């Protein structure tokens, strides 16, 4: 590691919000940024070309799923994920720790690593911290994540402390295992809902030294207020000249509040998952397209949106597609939701650059109140 990949571009004078750039092997990523989730080397419902048009700068893939199928060695033969999925911009890969955590009945966590059974065929597999790094190197990820062990909510202090300590020991092993490829490696701050554990974990990870720092184990069922409290208690203990990534979060409101507290990077399955379930994000809040009120509605999903879906299709047509279970519903809804998220982040960057983020945040909520 030769220093931070992060360059500060602008900062709010009223809060911790900031703009910057993260340098990667496949180009710079302007922050704050939302990363669409492409768990299995695809963002569901859209093509890589769609993603580029929508303004996606970087996408996320998942080590656990790609390790199981089709295998990292096969992907390596195609020049890594970039060649395999025809995407020429940066990629971040999660280490798979959360997926292993979510399959607890199939997994056994030890000092050595994670032993688990494939959710596809039950085959016994093992992933050590070193393995997680080597798999991600084979995938060609621009940003790799250390292997971590997630903490459920609620969890008592002893359980949270042991899991956090194990994650940090694994992080040190990941740091030692990385090769000199130019790929970035981020540490993950765990600690459950205990602010002192999170502060301690952050300080230990900074001592090890990473290219960026992520906050894991949030949005796992805890009240929103507690998640925001943990953010506020943790981010100040991370170095301000490195990128900060909030993993698996979240709603548009979560993004605004995360940026307010100094977060640079976000990912979540919500835009595409909600699209498949008929929930669309708009400038005035959520819209459930299956509702009967949209049966003969000539308007686009969002009259303030200029995405492909809103330029060409009515709410009535989108409702018809969804009710008819047509595949096009998933595609058009996903295009709109991803465009909304990418545009929201672009608007946030502009507001920070012009030092008006506090006003932007107020207007963001006021528009939702007007709808309700």
**Identified catalytic residue from 94, 148, 211, 264:** 94
Q: Which two tokens stand for residue 164?
A: 């956090």
Q: How many Cα atoms sit within 13 Å of 106 on the Cβ side?
A: 16
In terms of Cβ atoms closer than 10 Å to its own Cβ (0-12, 13-18, 19+), residue 192 is buried
Q: Tell me whether residue 142 is one of the annotated catalytic residues.
A: no
Cis check for the bond before 154: say yes or no (omega within 30 of 0).
Answer: yes
What are residue 28's DSSP bridge partners? 23
- Asked if 298 and 310 touch (Cβ cutoff 8 Å), the reply is no
Other CB atoms closer than 10 Å to residue 59's CB: what's the count? 23
Please tell me the distance from the alpha carbon of residue 94 to that of residue 33, in angstroms, as a whole number: 16
- Asked if 212 and 183 touch (Cβ cutoff 8 Å), the reply is no
Please tell me the distance from the alpha carbon of residue 243 to that of residue 324, in angstroms, as a whole number: 44
**Identified catalytic residue from 142, 148, 267, 302:** 267
Please tell me the distance from the alpha carbon of residue 329 to that of residue 334, in angstroms, as a whole number: 8
- Asked if 64 and 99 touch (Cβ cutoff 8 Å), the reply is yes
- Asked if 152 and 142 touch (Cβ cutoff 8 Å), the reply is no
Compute the residue count for the chain.
372
Catalytic residue numbers, as ranges: 94, 267
């Amino acid at each position: 590691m030769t220093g931070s990949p992060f360059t500060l571009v602008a900062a709010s004078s009223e809060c911790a919000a900031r703009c910057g750039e993260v340098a990667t092997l496949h180009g710079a990523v302007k922050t704050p940024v939302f990363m669409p989730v492409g768990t299995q080397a695809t963002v569901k419902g859209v093509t890589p070309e769609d993603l580029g048009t929508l303004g996606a700068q970087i996408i996320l893939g998942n080590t656990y799923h790609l390790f199981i199928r089709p295998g990292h060695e096969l992907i390596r033969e195609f020049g890594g994920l970039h060649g395999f999925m025809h995407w020429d911009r940066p990629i971040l890969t999660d280490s798979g720790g959360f997926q292993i955590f979510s399959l607890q009945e199939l997994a056994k966590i030890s000092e050595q690593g994670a032993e688990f059974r494939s959710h596809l065929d039950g085959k016994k597999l093992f992933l050590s911290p070193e393995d997680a790094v080597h798999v991600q190197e084979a995938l060609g990820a621009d940003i790799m994540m250390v292997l971590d062990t997630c903490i459920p909510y609620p969890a008592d202090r002893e359980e949270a402390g042991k899991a956090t300590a194990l994650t940090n020991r694994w992080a040190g092993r990941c740091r030692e295992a990385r090769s000199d490829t130019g790929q970035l490696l981020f540490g993950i701050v765990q600690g459950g809902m205990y602010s002192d554990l999170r502060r301690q974990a952050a300080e230990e990870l900074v001592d090890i030294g990473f290219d960026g720092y992520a906050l894991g184990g949030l949005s796992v069922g805890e009240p929103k207020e507690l998640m925001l409290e943990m953010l506020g208690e943790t981010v100040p203990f991370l170095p301000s000249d490195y990128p900060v990534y909030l993993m698996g979060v979240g709603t548009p409101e979560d993004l605004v509040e995360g940026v307010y507290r100094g977060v640079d990077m976000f990912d979540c399955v919500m835009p595409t998952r909600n699209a498949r379930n008929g929930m669309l994000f708009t400038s005035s809040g959520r819209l459930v397209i299956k509702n009967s009120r949209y049966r003969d509605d000539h308007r686009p999903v969002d009259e303030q949106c200029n995405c492909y879906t809103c330029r060409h299709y009515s709410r009535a047509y989108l409702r018809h597609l969804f009710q008819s279970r047509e595949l096009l519903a998933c595609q058009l809804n996903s295009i709109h939701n991803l465009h909304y998220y990418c545009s929201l982040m672009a608007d946030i960057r502009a507001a920070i650059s012009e030092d008006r983020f506090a006003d932007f945040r107020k207007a963001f909520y006021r528009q939702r109140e007007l709808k309700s």
